[in-house]
């Protein structure tokens, strides 16, 4: 029996599950902000303001003490159009869908999925919490438990949570767990497959797209310190910065001081001190021309009110404790609650003037893919293109934690 000639709709529809099966990090984040997503198109523009709930200090006693309800928001902008362009022949379209998928769709969708996933994993730079040591692959479950503790310290919901690790991190943790007595089904599956599946309250995924962060040049053996006490806000002025290009690099993490000079995190609701230093991340490369340097940071230091996040302001002379040695390249695994990150997408328009153009959407996947093709009668081939439109945003960086390696 002759094969049925493939239609553009069959190609587009078949591409969705292929794309979905390639995603790792992406399947564990929020993708529900485009409520109008579907075949008729989403008409929300390219930017969506996502409101975050207010926090309140509260009062004790009977006296009325009204507080301002301050809502904050983040912008989810659809900034990236990405696609794969191909040439198919009439003979190619005479194949059955299984052969066509294996030969053409799998490679094309894998490239699109890897682009979406790798862009998403760059959101690590918006996460200040961290465990592990740059340059050292974690080889004990304790490191991952400490990452889960960071989420607990920041009042993250207990589920759903996920842990994304690099290809170098996975064999270390699978090996570390192989000696458990009387392994259950999950441990047996990990042993038989060599892959982490589910443990310590989180779903695990190995993702080759885990992003690297490079520690800045620092200032040699000289420790960078706080310039003046009492600082707050989204930047810190530091001393002993020297004359250094890329003193700190975007995404570098640090804490401030230790002991009595330490800046400690607080419970986000009760504002009571947590017995761990507040983590910060550098939000842009910092170059110093000598002496003092201004370092942009996240989160901003908030000393009081409903969004207070530290026990006290930094003291003059307190040390900046950068995680890792100078120039160390560190893969950044992630432990996070689903609400930490979001992927937004929208339908690309159908091009009516094109010879053939079709778009298919998957509510479950949270993506739509458009496939457009024409006909080149000189070569009896059909140039075609697959396209997606998307954008990433960090919603709650505090409910995520980096796992450095």
Residue 184 pLDDT: 59
Instruction: Name the pairing type of β-strands 329-337 and 320-322.
Output: unpaired
Q: Do 282 and 361 fall into the same domain?
A: no
Tens of pLDDT along 376-404?
A: 878 777 788 889 988 999 999 999 999 99
Q: Do 50 and 111 fall into the same domain?
A: yes
Residue 88 CA: distances (Å) to CA of 12, 14, 132, 318, 359: 14, 16, 48, 63, 18
Residue 284 pLDDT: 97
- Write out the two tokens for 165: 């690790």
Residue 120 pLDDT: 96
Closest by CA to 373, choosing from 2, 11, 1, 3, is 11
Q: Do 266 and 363 fall into the same domain?
A: no
Q: Is residue 13 part of a domain?
A: yes
Q: Do 178 and 91 fall into the same domain?
A: no
State pTM to two decimals: 0.85
Domain range for 268 is 216-322
Q: Do 297 and 264 fall into the same domain?
A: yes
What's the burial of 183, exposed, middle or buried (CB within 10 Å: 0-12/13-18/19+)? middle
Q: Is residue 293 part of a domain?
A: yes
Q: Is residue 61 part of a domain?
A: no
Residue 12 pLDDT: 67
Using CA atoms, how far apart are residues 53 and 32, in angstroms rounded to an integer? 17
Q: Is residue 140 part of a domain?
A: yes
Q: Do 283 and 312 fall into the same domain?
A: yes
Q: Which residues pair with 389 in a beta bridge?
A: 81
Residue 190 pLDDT: 55
Residue 34 pLDDT: 53
Q: Do 346 and 381 fall into the same domain?
A: yes
Closest by CA to 58, choosing from 322, 332, 305, is 305
Q: Do 348 and 306 fall into the same domain?
A: no
Using CA atoms, how far apart are residues 124 and 166, in angstroms rounded to an integer? 13
Using CA atoms, how far apart are residues 338 and 345, in angstroms rounded to an integer? 17
Q: Is residue 200 part of a domain?
A: yes
Dihedral angle, C-alpha 302, 392, 71, 158, nearest 10 °: -80
Q: Do 104 and 134 fall into the same domain?
A: no
Q: Is residue 93 part of a domain?
A: yes
Give 5's contacts (C-beta < 8 A, 6+ positions apart). Answer: 93, 94
Q: Do 12 and 118 fall into the same domain?
A: yes
Residue 33 pLDDT: 61
What CATH number does residue 266 fall under? 2.40.30
Instruction: Choose one of 278, 310, 339: the last residue of a domain.
Output: 339
Q: Is residue 20 part of a domain?
A: yes
* pLDDT tens over the chain, length 405 residues: 343 456 666 666 666 666 766 688 988 998 776 554 444 444 555 666 676 666 666 777 778 877 776 667 777 888 899 999 888 777 777 766 677 777 777 788 888 888 999 999 999 999 999 999 999 999 999 999 999 999 999 999 999 999 999 999 999 998 888 765 445 565 555 555 556 778 899 999 999 999 999 999 999 889 999 999 999 999 999 999 889 889 999 999 999 999 999 999 999 988 999 999 999 999 999 999 887 899 999 999 999 998 999 999 999 999 999 999 999 999 999 999 999 999 888 788 888 877 778 887 766 666 778 888 887 878 777 788 889 988 999 999 999 999 999
Residue 144 pLDDT: 97
Q: Do 173 and 240 fall into the same domain?
A: no
Q: Which residues pair with 367 in a beta bridge?
A: 362
Helix (H) or strand (E) holding 51: strand 47-52
Count of structural domains within the chain: 3
Residue 18 pLDDT: 65
Residue 24 pLDDT: 86
Q: Do 196 and 220 fall into the same domain?
A: no
Instruction: Choose one of 270, 292, 322: the last residue of a domain.
Output: 322
Q: Is residue 263 part of a domain?
A: yes
């Amino acid at each position: 029996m002759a094969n049925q000639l493939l239609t553009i709709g069959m190609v587009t529809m078949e591409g969705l599950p292929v794309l979905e099966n390639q995603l790792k990090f992406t399947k564990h984040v929020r993708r529900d902000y485009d409520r109008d997503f579907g075949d008729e198109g989403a008409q929300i523009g390219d930017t969506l303001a996502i409101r975050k709930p207010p926090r309140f200090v509260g009062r004790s006693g009977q006296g009325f003490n009204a507080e301002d309800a301050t809502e904050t928001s983040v912008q989810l902008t659809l900034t990236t159009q990405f696609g794969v362009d191909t040439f198919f022949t009439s003979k190619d379209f005479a194949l059955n869908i299984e052969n066509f998928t294996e030969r053409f769709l799998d490679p094309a969708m894998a490239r699109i999925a890897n682009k979406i996933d790798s862009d998403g994993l760059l959101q690590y730079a918006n996460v200040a919490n961290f465990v592990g040591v740059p340059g050292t692959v974690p080889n004990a479950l304790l490191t991952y438990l400490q990452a889960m503790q960071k989420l607990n310290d920041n009042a993250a919901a207990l589920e759903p949570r996920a842990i994304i690790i690099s290809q170098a991190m996975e064999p270390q943790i699978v090996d570390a767990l192989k000696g458990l007595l009387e392994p259950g089904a999950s441990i047996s599956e990990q042993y038989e497959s060599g892959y982490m599946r589910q443990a310590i309250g989180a779903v695990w995924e190995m993702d080759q797209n885990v992003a690297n962060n490079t520690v800045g040049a620092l200032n040699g053996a000289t420790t960078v310190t706080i310039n003046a006490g009492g600082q707050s806000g989204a930047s810190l002025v530091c001393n002993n910065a020297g004359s250094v290009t890329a003193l700190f690099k975007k995404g570098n993490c640090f804490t401030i001081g230790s002991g009595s000079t330490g800046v400690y995190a607080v419970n986000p609701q009760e504002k009571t001190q947590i017995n761990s230093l507040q983590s910060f991340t550098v939000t842009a490369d910092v170059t110093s021309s000598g002496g003092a340097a201004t370092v942009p940071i996240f989160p901003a230091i908030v000393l009081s009110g409903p969004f207070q996040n530290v026990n006290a302001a930094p003291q003059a002379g307190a040390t900046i404790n950068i995680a890792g040695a100078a120039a160390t390249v560190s893969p950044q695994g992630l432990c996070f609650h689903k609400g930490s990150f979001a992927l937004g997408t929208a339908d690309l328009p159908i091009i009516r003037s094109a010879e053939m153009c079709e778009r298919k959407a998957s509510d479950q996947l949270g993506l739509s893919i458009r496939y457009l093709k024409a006909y080149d009668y000189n070569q009896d081939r059909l140039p075609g293109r697959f396209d997606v439109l998307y954008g990433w945003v960090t919603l709650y960086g505090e409910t995520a934690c980096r796992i450095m390696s």
